[in-house]
Every structure is written in C-alpha cells, then in structure tokens.
Homo-oligomer: A and B are copies of this chain.
C-alpha cells in the first residue's frame, strides 16, 4: 500500500519570484523578514533561466527551495504603456506558482514586500484571498495572495492568458480577469489592507495611515522605484512617512547583511507574534 505521508498534505510555503538581478535584494530581504517573523512554513523562490547562475546561487542560501520555471511574458506593449510599467510583462511568470503541487497551500509574496510580523494565520484562508488594490479596489492587488497549487488551475490560467489576456499587461490584470468574482466573494477572501499595505497609502490618506499603522503586517513597495534603488526624491506631503517605510526595509537589509557575513551567525530570534509553536527548522542553514 502506498499511503501519502502526513507531510504531503500539510506542507505549506511562502513563494516569491525573481527573474532578474533587479529583484534579488528584495527577495533576500523578504526571506529574511519572514524568518525574523518566526514563520513555521517553507520559503520558495521561483526563478527563470534569465537569472544569472551565480546570482541564483547567492539567493539559494535565503530559501528552502529554488524552483526553475519557464518565463511567461504577456508582451502586451499597449496595456503596459497604460500602466506606465513597460518592464512588467514578465510578471505573468507568477502564475507558475500554481505548479508547486508538493504544497497543499501557499502564500505568494512579491519580492518588493516586507513582512513586519508573523502572518502564518494567512494559511487558514481559502483560495483566492487577497487585499484590495488602491488603484481600483474591486480588483485585488496581486503582490500578496493565498492560493492552492493545482496543475488544472495553472493550465486554466495559461488558457486565460492566451484567450483573454491581461488588461494591464502584467500578472495583476490576468489574475483579476481569472478570479473576477473576488470582490463579491465572502469576507474571508478579503485580506485586510494591513496584509498588503502599499507604501503610497502613507501619503494618500494620512489620517487613516496614522490611525491604523500599528496593525500593519506586510508593507508592499509598489512602483518602479524600490527601496534598494536608494532613497527616492519624493515631492509630496507625507514624504516622511514613506521615507520611514523605506528605512524599515533598509534596517531589515542591514540586519540580513550582518547576520550573513558573521561566521558565527546567531540563530534567528523571532519577533513577537501570536504563534507559540515556532519551529526553528532552518537553524541548520545559518
């Protein structure tokens, strides 16, 4: 008899994507922030052959598993021009995360996200769970989402890309086309904005930011200028708030660098969280 082991049902992972050198710093700091959060789940990085080998090797020490996937590019110049982000056609590669069927459930996180505290409770959410996008809030932002790996879903997503395409030329337009009923589903599918706090909200509605910032769990640095590109020249009211968020990213990056260059690296000290059963499976990695 060949019974599947318990583990095959219960493996769960955080998944990110890194197709080129520009997102390596982000992926590393994201992984570090997840470890600091005291997560008990595995960390997976999807890569493509467009990522140089020596960079992939460098990234490997930050993740439990590196998975090579084929690059998918919408190549929809018109839609990407409307979005103002000509480089984002390759983010369609993100849908390859559905092929990770060795996991029963996953949380996808963009490489430009920063986890501020333990968010393992996300694995209790159903597919598809995500937070509203502040550009058009009947759409979800595809930088953070809970999903269930499935080859069937992957194939359906590929079909959708071929037949309908992505209305914004990137992964978000495609995923919102495919999961088009998201905004009318039950409340359990709607992640609080604090699980995907796009950094520009700090100046968009400052009173709400000040009121609810203590609840922020994941910060998402959307836009073409990322924290690792250096401090951007903001000319907006509230720039101090955005600068503080950028500083948070750099603090985590410095902490990561200190720990990875130290031959006798300390074991991770999880940040305070509600979770009591922190399983330090990755101490051996350090």
Contact = CB atoms under 8 A, between A and B. Distances in A.
Interface of A: 79, 82-84, 131-139, 167-169, 173, 176, 183-187, 190, 192-194, 201, 204-212, 237
A186 B186 contact: yes
Contact of A193 (B136, B207, B211): B136
A136 B212 contact: yes
A83 B206 contact: yes
Nearest to A187: B184
A208 B135 contact: yes
A138 B169 contact: no
A133 B205 CA distance: 9
Given A183-B190, A187-B187, A204 B137 contact: no
Contact of A82 (B83, B84, B185, B206): B206
Contacts of A84: 206, 237
A278 to B, nearest CB: 27
A64 B184 CA distance: 34
Contacts of A139: 205, 208
Given A84-B237, A185-B187, A135 B205 contact: yes
Given A186-B187, A187-B186, A237-B84, A208 B134 contact: no
A137 B134 contact: yes
A132 B132 contact: yes
Given A183-B190, A186-B186, A192-B183, A136 B208 contact: yes
B192 A138 contact: yes
B79 A207 contact: yes
A193 B137 contact: yes
A30 to B, nearest CB: 23
Contacts of A206: 82-84
B187 A136 contact: no
